[in-house]
């Protein structure tokens, strides 16, 4: 049990302890860990000798800490847990707790590279039916490899950053025009943050997932469907996706999710050798999507066809190296039901079947709309672990 006021029984209790970067009172950015409705200033804790992390906790991003590797990640987590549960430490630690309401969350890590996958069979099938009616919903390669593409690291932003409506070319009956997107959408996803790098030319195997990946963030990979539809053939997504990707301000360590791993869906046909993960497991993360404060969907991450370990193995099988701060996202998380989809493209079936939000019929995002993605996972002893939310509000095109 923790001595921190209000934290016992919280989804941000000592079994969670997500990491972020914050500032308060006009101070410099520093690393912190969330406990209940407080942030423990780990930079100050390290400076006081309460935690040892090779000076990595006094930095303005998590990258130096991420690079230390799993033994150090585990040691720091154990020490922080001790500080927050052993009341003899309270006199030294309590002054380092910053009320969450007084903390400004910043982008928690410097993003090195960003890769987005397409790992939900339900999502891929829905999109195939919407865009290619009368044809097989999955393309021939889909069940043989995790489909993905490289995104734009420089436009990954922290939760709460306003999202400016993108401008680009889109098709019309009279030919292409350039202007603000009129089919702006969301993609509710889960992202994985790489800590330990790999050497160029050396693939990372599925068994090495936990040696390289530090933790998890929620992702909203905003999508301009009209711009994307016009540009994506033959090379794939570009301006329809690269304008903004929002991530949560808290990175949940894999250690906190140890009780959330569950058997992943069976894969048929069998995958090639480098993708055979034993055990074949995914994560039981239960997402929720709110549109202007109204819950419209609850996507289940446990249904994802391709696992996080398989995604990591695939993105390095050609010898591509990992860097500290790499982010790879799962792709849109969708379940088998309409109320479990992770995009409004699916929720409204390409805009043909509007939904009611706030008393009005809606299809895609309007200026002023706010979308928030949250998630929970099962923790030990019947507890619940919350992942940091990711939220954004649409601003008019410039």
Q: What pLDDT was estimated at residue 172?
A: 96
**Span 19-27, average pLDDT:** 94
Q: What pLDDT was estimated at residue 3?
A: 98
Does the pLDDT of residue 158 top 90, yes or no? yes
**Span 141-149, average pLDDT:** 97
Name the residue ranges covered by the structural domains of the chain.
19-106, 114-395
In the CATH scheme, what is the code of domain 19-106?
2.30.30.230
174 annotated as ligand-binding? no
**Span 252-272, average pLDDT:** 97
383 annotated as ligand-binding? no
**Span 245-254, average pLDDT:** 98
241 annotated as ligand-binding? yes
Q: What pLDDT was estimated at residue 315?
A: 98
Does the pLDDT of residue 26 top 90, yes or no? no
Does the pLDDT of residue 233 top 90, yes or no? no
The residues assigned a catalytic role are: 123
346 annotated as ligand-binding? no
CATH top-level class for 114-395? alpha beta
Query: Per the confidence metrics, is the pTM higher than 0.95?
Result: yes
Q: What pLDDT was estimated at residue 59?
A: 96
Q: What pLDDT was estimated at residue 380?
A: 87
Per-residue confidence band for 272, with pLDDT thresholds at 50, 70 and 90: very high
Q: What pLDDT was estimated at residue 265?
A: 98
Q: What pLDDT was estimated at residue 329?
A: 98
Give the tens place of pLDDT for each residue, 339-387: 999 999 999 999 999 999 999 999 999 999 999 999 999 998 889 999 9
- Print the SS3 string covering the chain: CCCCCCCCCCCCCCCCCCEEEEECCCCCCEEEEEECCEEEEHHHHHHCCCCCCCCHHHCCCCHHHHCCCHHHHHHHHHHHHHHHHCHHHHHHHHHHEEEHHHCEEECCCCCCCEEEECCCHHHHHHHHHHHCCCCCCCCCCCCCCCCEEECCHHHEEECCCCEECCEEEECCCCCCEEEECCCEECCEEEEEEECCCCCCCCCCCHHHHHHHEEEEEEEECCEEHHHHHHHCCCCCCCCCCCCCEEECCCEEEHHHHHHHEEECCCCCCCCCHHHCCCCCEEECCEEEEEECCEEEECCEHHHCCCCHHHHHHHHHCCCCCCCCCCEEECCCCCCCCHHHCCCHHHHCCCCCCCEEECCEEECCCCCCCEEEEEEEEECHHHCEEEEEEEEEEEECCC
245 annotated as ligand-binding? yes
Q: What pLDDT was estimated at residue 304?
A: 98
Q: What pLDDT was estimated at residue 230?
A: 95
């Amino acid at each position: 049990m923790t001595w921190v006021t209000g934290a016992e029984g919280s989804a941000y209790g000592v079994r969670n302890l997500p990491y972020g970067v914050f500032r308060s009172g006009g101070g410099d950015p520093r690393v912190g860990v969330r406990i209940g409705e407080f942030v423990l200033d780990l930079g100050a804790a390290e400076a006081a000798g309460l935690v040892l992390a090779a000076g990595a906790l006094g930095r303005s991003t998590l990258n130096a800490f991420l690079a230390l590797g799993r033994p150090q990640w585990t040691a720091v987590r154990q020490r922080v847990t001790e500080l927050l549960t052993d009341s003899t430490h309270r006199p030294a630690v309590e002054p380092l707790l910053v009320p969450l309401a007084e903390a400004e969350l910043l982008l928690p890590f410097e993003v090195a590279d960003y890769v987005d996958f397409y790992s939900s069979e339900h999502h891929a099938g829905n999109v195939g039916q919407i865009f290619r009616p009368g044809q097989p919903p999955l393309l021939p390669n889909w069940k043989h490899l995790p489909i993905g593409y490289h995104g734009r690291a420089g436009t990954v932003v922290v939760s709460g950053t306003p999202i400016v409506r993108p401008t680009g070319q889109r098709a019309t009956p009279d030919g292409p025009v350039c202007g603000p997107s009129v089919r702006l959408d969301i993609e509710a996803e889960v992202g994985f943050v790489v800590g330990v790098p790999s050497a160029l030319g050396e693939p990372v195997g599925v068994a090495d997932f936990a040696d390289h990946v530090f933790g998890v963030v929620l992702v909203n990979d905003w999508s301009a469907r009209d711009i994307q539809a016009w540009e994506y053939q033959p090379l794939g997504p570009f301006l329809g996706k690269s304008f903004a990707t929002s991530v949560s301000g808290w990175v949940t360590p894999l250690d906190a999710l140890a009780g959330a791993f569950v058997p992943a869906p069976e894969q048929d046909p069998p995958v090639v050798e480098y993708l055979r993960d034993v055990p074949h497991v995914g994560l039981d993360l239960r997402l929720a999507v709110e549109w202007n404060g109204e819950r419209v969907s609850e996507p289940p991450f446990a249904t994802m066809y391709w696992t996080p370990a398989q995604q990591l193995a695939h993105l390095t099988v050609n010898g591509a190296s990992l860097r500290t701060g790499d982010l790879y996202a799962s792709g849109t998380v969708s379940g088998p039901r309409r109320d479990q989809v992770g995009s409004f493209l699916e929720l409204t079936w390409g805009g043909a079947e509007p939904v009611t939000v706030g008393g009005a019929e809606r299809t895609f995002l309007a200026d002023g709309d706010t979308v928030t993605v949250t998630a929970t996972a099962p923790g030990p002893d019947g507890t619940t672990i919350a992942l940091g939310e990711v939220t954004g509000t649409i601003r008019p095109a410039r």
